[in-house]
Amino acid sequence: MKALTFSTFGNSDVLEYKEVEDPTLQAGELLVEMKSIGLNFADIYRRKGNYHLKGKPPYIAGYEGAGIVVNNNNNPGFKNGDRIAFADVPFANAELVAVPVTHAIPLPEDISFETASAILLQGLTAHYLATDSHKITTGETALVHASAGGVGQLLTQICKLLGAKVIGLTSSESKKEVALSQGADTVFLYNEDWKSKVLERCPQGVDVVYDSIGSTLQDSFEVTRICGQVVFFGMSGGNPAPVDPIMLMDTSKTLTGGDLWNYLTSKEERIKRADQLFEWIRNKKITVAAPTKFQLSAGKQAHDFLESRKSTGKIILIPGK
């Protein structure tokens, strides 16, 4: 099979699209022919050697995608030809992937492979952020960093669906329009004095900040109300400075970390959360922006485009010719 690989860490030049051995199935695994694969910043971090990585050289990154079962490996409940998707299976940047039965999410006929690979990882992340890390309630105001990104767009929609007002933060006028189109009540740019603007709108501070930037963590606390909460779930802008615990005590503010893998703890949990997303899509309560597509063989260009931060929404990789 062909796969997008790398054998050393570095910039996108280390990526190689080449022939590798097919997966060897273990008990409890399905062989899936991939139809669409999600590209995420975690794949950039893995390529650079900054994130957990399974296997050995040539490494295959990717954890998210959708496809068709081509060998059910005698696993009851699945048959060849079944459509499935997944959000947390390694080695996804390949034509064939060994998917544990416990991680396989049945894909309804009305949800396309491309939609599944565009929404699952980021959608499940947005889902736990708004329903677990901080339970959004009607009337709250949430500040969403990187609100035009893949998670940001879905998180904005889910927060609105659950009754919150949303203030978005993003880096350009074009991305501001994207965030507004997803339902954000107002959006400020990072090159503005955004903290003053947020506090003008919410003099006591916002109820919750969803911070995926990292380097902005202290700024996030400065615009959070007394007894409010900051949810830290990414470091796309660099590592945050240490948080002063005395500040937390004096202001009764809460810092919560967020990682999807701590919530996808069982087959039932994966399917339940995914089915909620599929239902919201089906009923048009949330919309998924059309993803940007690259052939898997053009993985270098896809990585470069994601790192350029010119993208809004999801980038997906399509195997085959």
For residue 149, what pLDDT is reported? 86
Are both 186 and 250 inside the same structural domain? Answer: yes
Taking the C-alpha atoms of residue 23 and residue 17, their distance in angstroms, rounded to an integer, is 16
Both structure tokens of 165: 């007002």
User: Is residue 310 situated within a structural domain?
Assistant: yes
Are both 20 and 80 inside the same structural domain? Answer: yes
Structural domain including 200 reads: 138-258
Are both 284 and 237 inside the same structural domain? Answer: no
User: Is residue 249 situated within a structural domain?
Assistant: yes
Is the distance from CB of 126 to CB of 158 less than 8 angstroms?
yes
Over its C-alpha atoms, the chain yields an Rg (Å, rounded) of 20
> How many domains is the chain partitioned into structurally?
2
SS3 of residue 308 by DSSP? coil
CATH at 217: 3.40.50.720
CATH at 77: 3.90.180.10
Nearest to 81 by CA among 106, 100, 63, 102: 106
pLDDT at 14 over 70: yes
Taking the C-alpha atoms of residue 172 and residue 191, their distance in angstroms, rounded to an integer, is 9
Average pLDDT, the chain: 94
What number is the average pLDDT over the span 199-224?
Answer: 97
For residue 321, what pLDDT is reported? 66
- The residue whose two tokens read 């599929």 is 278
User: Is residue 55 situated within a structural domain?
Assistant: yes
What number is the average pLDDT over the span 136-161?
Answer: 95
Who has greater pLDDT, 313 or 278?
278
Are both 210 and 304 inside the same structural domain? Answer: no
User: Is residue 11 situated within a structural domain?
Assistant: yes
User: Is residue 251 situated within a structural domain?
Assistant: yes
Domain boundary, last residue among 258, 278, 305: 258
Q: How far is CA 196 from CA 62, 199, 215, in A?
A: 39, 5, 18
Are both 219 and 297 inside the same structural domain? Answer: no
Is the distance from CB of 181 to CB of 157 less than 8 angstroms?
no
User: Is residue 130 situated within a structural domain?
Assistant: no
Are both 84 and 145 inside the same structural domain? Answer: no
For residue 312, what pLDDT is reported? 67
Nearest to 125 by CA among 289, 273, 254, 266: 273
Nearest to 227 by CA among 197, 258, 204: 204
For residue 96, what pLDDT is reported? 98
What number is the average pLDDT over the span 230-237?
Answer: 91
User: Is residue 301 situated within a structural domain?
Assistant: yes
Round to the nearest angstrom and report the end-to-end CA distance of the chain. Answer: 13
Question: pLDDT tier at 106 (50, 70, 90 boundaries)?
Answer: very high
Is the distance from CB of 62 to CB of 39 less than 8 angstroms?
yes
Over pLDDT 90: what percentage of the chain?
88
Domain boundary, last residue among 258, 283, 310: 258
Are both 102 and 181 inside the same structural domain? Answer: no
User: Is residue 290 situated within a structural domain?
Assistant: yes
Nearest to 307 by CA among 64, 15, 67: 15
Is the distance from CB of 51 to CB of 109 less than 8 angstroms?
no
Are both 102 and 7 inside the same structural domain? Answer: yes
pLDDT at 246 over 70: yes
Q: What is the pLDDT of residues 119-146, one digit of tens each?
A: 999 999 999 999 999 999 999 999 999 9
Are both 240 and 278 inside the same structural domain? Answer: no
For residue 274, what pLDDT is reported? 97
What number is the average pLDDT over the span 22-26?
Answer: 95
Domain boundary, last residue among 221, 236, 258: 258
For residue 52, what pLDDT is reported? 79
Q: What is the pLDDT of residues 261-306, one digit of tens each?
A: 899 999 999 999 999 999 999 999 999 888 999 999 999 999 999 9
Are both 237 and 222 inside the same structural domain? Answer: yes
Are both 208 and 98 inside the same structural domain? Answer: no
Are both 162 and 105 inside the same structural domain? Answer: no
